Amino acid sequence: MSHTFKTIALIGKYSSPEISAPLLRLARFLEERHYNVVVARQTAETIGSAGYPMANLSEIGEVADLAVVLGGDGTMLNIARNLVAFRVPLVGINQGRLGFLADVSVEIMLDTMDEMLAGRFNSEERILLRAEIRRGNEKVFDACALNDVVVNKGNIGRLIEMETVIDGEFVNSQRADGLVVATPTGSTAYALSAGGPILHPSLEVIVLVPICPHTLAARPIAVSGRSTVEIMVINADDARVHFDGQRHFDLRKGDRVIIQRAENTVRLLHPVGHSYYDMLRQKLHWGEKL
């Protein structure tokens, strides 16, 4: 048994009773191998803890050596943001189709975990973005994102007029439905559907992708992961900024969204043999006969 991990937290997709059976099966598997098992409190409130200790996410960050997340990519995004400050490595187990982040199938999770706990795994670091919204000289909101920070229109549906400044230098002004600022992890999410490039997750870059711009001259651009991206709302009747599609804040005319790489990275663990390109082929159906 590896001594790298002693306390392992199990976190299931919230309000999803169907994860009960695999999560408790995994808990028993770990207990039999003499690991300390902790179940996330919100998960236990849905499925029951079966006598295992419960903890909220901040407590998990303090005590866990590893967090195993059962759910889809959305659950992984949420847990990654909440645990990034604690540097707890994550393993994602998916009950459905394998995701970009949750890439271990529930059918083989016990065999896979056995290998990984014995020290046979691949590890990678993923960058996050941290954004703050400034209204005049006041910071009115801040949050981080693993996928993307998106400025876009709200319920009214009119175009937003924005100016973009990178590292203090004016880049452009544009009218569009919005702008996606994405990490390499997020390059296969909203940014991809808006016409952005796929970036390998090992890269330390940030990509800016316009959403339905009102000019053919607007194009995606990739910049250094150490850059500071500032988006100023010049004119908008109803604009919002979204973080991984899970949190949002309503913007006003004159607000500035200042985006930088977050200080910490998220550490993801994958089974030996995990291939990013193989995952892309499966998810995007590359290689199929035309």
Q: Out of 73, 103, 148, 244, pick the active-site residue.
A: 73
Distance CA 138, CA 152 (A): 22
Instruction: Report helix, strand or coil for 178.
Output: strand
Q: Where are the beta strands (DSSP E) in 136-252?
A: 138-145, 148-153, 160-166, 169-176, 178-182, 205-211, 221-224, 229-235, 239-243, 247-251
Give the pLDDT of residue 113.
97
pLDDT confidence of 290, banded at 50, 70, 90? low
Distance CA 229, CA 168 (A): 8
Concatenated DSSP letters for 92-120?
EEESSS--SS--EEGGGHHHHHHHHHTT-
C-beta neighbour count of 8 within 10 angstroms: 23
Question: Token pair for residue 120?
Answer: 């046979």
Structure confidence by residue, pLDDT tens digits, 119-173? 999 999 999 999 999 999 999 999 999 999 999 987 777 899 999 999 999 999 9
Distance CA 150, CA 177 (A): 10
pTM of the model: 0.94
Q: What is the dihedral of CA 70, 3, 121, 244, to 10 degrees?
A: 40
CATH topology of domain 128-263: Tumour Suppressor Smad4 (2.60.200)
Structure confidence by residue, pLDDT tens digits, 15-71? 888 899 999 999 999 999 999 999 999 999 888 778 899 999 999 999 999 999 999
Tell me the CATH number of domain 7-119, given options 1.10.4030.10, 3.20.20.70, 3.40.50.2300, 3.40.50.10330: 3.40.50.10330
**Do 258 and 230 touch, CB atoms closer than 8 A?**
yes
Angle value at C-alpha 160, between 157 and 162, nearest 5 degrees: 165
Amino acid at 218: A
Angle between helices 109-117 and 20-32 (to 10 degrees): 40
HSE, side-chain direction, 13 A CA sphere, residue 153: 17
Domain ranges of the chain: 7-119, 128-263
* Average pLDDT of the residues in 103-110: 94
Q: Which residues contact 220 (CB under 8 A, 6 or more apart)?
A: 191, 195, 196, 197, 207, 208, 209, 210
Residue 243: strand pairing partners: 149, 247
Give the pLDDT of residue 33.
95
pLDDT confidence of 111, banded at 50, 70, 90? very high
* CA distances to 171, 186, 234, 257, 259 from 231, in Å: 10, 19, 9, 5, 8
What is the percentage of the chain residues whose pLDDT exceeds 90? 86
How many whole angstroms from its chain centre is CA 290?
32
Told to judge if 73 belongs to the known catalytic residues of this protein, a careful annotator would answer yes
